[in-house]
Amino acid sequence: MQNGKILIVDDDKSILRSLEILLENEFELVKTISNPNLILSEYQKGIYDVVLLDMNFSTGINTGNEGIFWLNEILKTDKKAIIILLTAYGDVDLAVKAMKEGATDFVIKPWNNEKLIYTLKSACKIRQSQLEINKLAKEKDTLSAEINKSKEKIIGASKVMNKIYSMIDKVAPTDANILILGENGTGKELIAREIHRKSKRNLKPMISIDMGTISESLFESELFGHKKGAFTDAKEDRTGRFEIASGGTLFLDEISNIPVSLQSKILTAIQKGEIVPLGSNKPVTIDVRLITATNKNPEDLIQQGLFREDLYYRINTVQIELPPLRERQDDIIQIAEYYLGIFASKYEKKQLKFSTGAKNTLKNYQWPGNIRELKHSIEKAVILNDGDILQSEDFMFKQESKTSEWPLKFDEIERIAIQRALQNNAGKMIDAAKELGLTRQTLYNKLKKYNL
């Protein structure tokens, strides 16, 4: 920073020119305007650190009320605005009134050049400190949400999982970009967190974001951040996920849901190692280790023109394929025992155990919703059970073969329709969505709702 950006408002153009000459080599930006009616539209661009505001704008009127009026108008827009008032009438009462109204400081005409420069630089430091505090507060909220996410562990000792553990140990210490493939509910984020935990970046955060939940209109703001005033609802600066994750790991879940039109922006950020927040022309350097995940086959999406091949190679230095739970039968009971311990403790039923029949039921079920469905099923069984043993009948899974038994609830009909559409279209979401008359985003949300 070159000591900040200054907006100067005075109706005397000779004073504006004098201030511009004095300050232009001291600050990054010096903008002058002579019409006070332009103050709000200019300030709402969100780029200024300090406003140097004249107290009087009408010829022959020297009460200072106009300056106080515009002071209050700016503060309505930004209650933390740094405003220094400029007046040729330096009576103490007016100064005290202005300070009580919210002015940061008060300068009397004719000013001392060195003192004015020092005052403005000090004010810019105050503004930058405010912005840094706000940024840190937002980052703290984001990091707290990440830290408070489930502390779940990767469970399983099957042959296929041991291969994955071995791969994690090999790739974690590197900065290689990782692509994790797997059906919904298989634990892709847990794998990402384990890679981060074992990486050299583990003292910095891992920031995760589900790309399937972000609308196109918020895509750039969410990932790259924005400056106040960048668009209609941008009422304050926002730090993007790339910047928050800098120094650590960024996990983009369901990356295949990003529209092709926006994939180039991710590619550019990765290639250049920098992002540009909306409403800014100043690049921000980033240093992230990128881990992505998807439940689709990226190569199929490339053939369909739905995913950029150059982005695929950028995110896919190493690929990890996470198997569905039905291919990990040896792990099912171990995972079930793990969640039983969690939920039995949570609902104060620590004596609960599985019967042999319950274990057989869990092991023989196909788990279309994978670990997410298993977790949900165990929590539900724990809540509803009144005894000490979870029996086979505590896990009565709905089978599609029962769909002829009417009446069905609407949710059951919708779930069946979605399952059939996916089967009819070989799991291709865009084609299944067309068959169902849904948008891809709506279908994605329903897949998560039904653990499909």
Report the C-alpha gap between 268 and 288 in whole angstroms. Answer: 13
Gyration radius of the chain over CA positions: 30
In 3-state terms, what secondary structure has residue 316?
coil
C-alpha distances (whole Å) from 202 to each of 155, 193, 205, 249 are 21, 10, 7, 8
Determine whether 141 is exposed, middle or buried from the number of CB atoms within 10 Å of its CB (0-12, 13-18, 19+): exposed
**How many other CB atoms are there within 10 angstroms of residue 314's CB atom?**
17
What pTM does this model have?
Answer: 0.63
pLDDT at 230: 80
- Cα separation, 207 vs 146, whole angstroms: 7
Q: How many CB atoms sit inside 10 A of residue 337's CB?
A: 14
Rounded to the nearest integer, the mean pLDDT of the chain is: 86
Q: Decide: 273 and 287 in contact? Cβ < 8 Å.
A: yes
Instruction: Quickly state the pLDDT bin for 397 (edges 50, 70, 90).
Output: confident
pLDDT at 98: 77
**Structure confidence at residue 86 (pLDDT):** 85
Q: What CA–CA distance (Å, rounded) separates 93 from 102?
A: 14
For 242-300, the pLDDT digits (tens) are 999 999 999 999 999 898 989 999 999 999 999 999 888 889 999 999 999 999 999 99
Backbone angles phi, psi at 355, to 5 degrees: -80, 165
Question: Which residue ranges form the domains of the chain, and what is each CATH number?
Answer: 5-130 (3.40.50.2300), 159-321 (3.40.50.300), 327-394 (1.10.8.60), 400-449 (1.10.10.60)
Nearest to 436 by CA among 447, 421, 416, 452: 421
Tens digit of each residue's pLDDT (9 = 90 or more) over 201-245: 998 889 999 998 888 888 889 999 988 878 877 777 888 999 999
The reported pLDDT for the residue numbered 404 is 43
Q: Tell me which long-range contacts 76-80 makes (C-beta under 8 A, separation of at least 24).
A: 77/40, 77/43, 77/44, 78/43, 78/228, 80/130
**381 — pLDDT class (breaks 50, 70, 90):** very high
Identify the sign of the CA torsion 345, 349, 350, 356. Answer: negative
Residue 407: cis peptide before it, omega within 30 degrees of 0:
yes
For 439, phi and psi rounded to 5 degrees? -75, 160
Q: Is 388 exposed, middle or buried (0-12, 13-18, 19+ CB in 10 A)?
A: exposed
Q: Which residues contact 346 (CB under 8 A, 6 or more apart)?
A: none
Measured CA to CA, the distance from residue 247 to residue 47 in angstroms comes to 26
Distance CA 425, CA 60 (A): 79
Type of residue numbered 194: E
Q: Could you give the count of Cα atoms lying within 13 Å of 443 in the half-sphere of its Cβ?
A: 22
**Over pLDDT 70: what percentage of the chain?**
89
Residue 370: the pLDDT is: 94
**CA-to-CA distance for 164 and 397, rounded, in angstroms?**
30
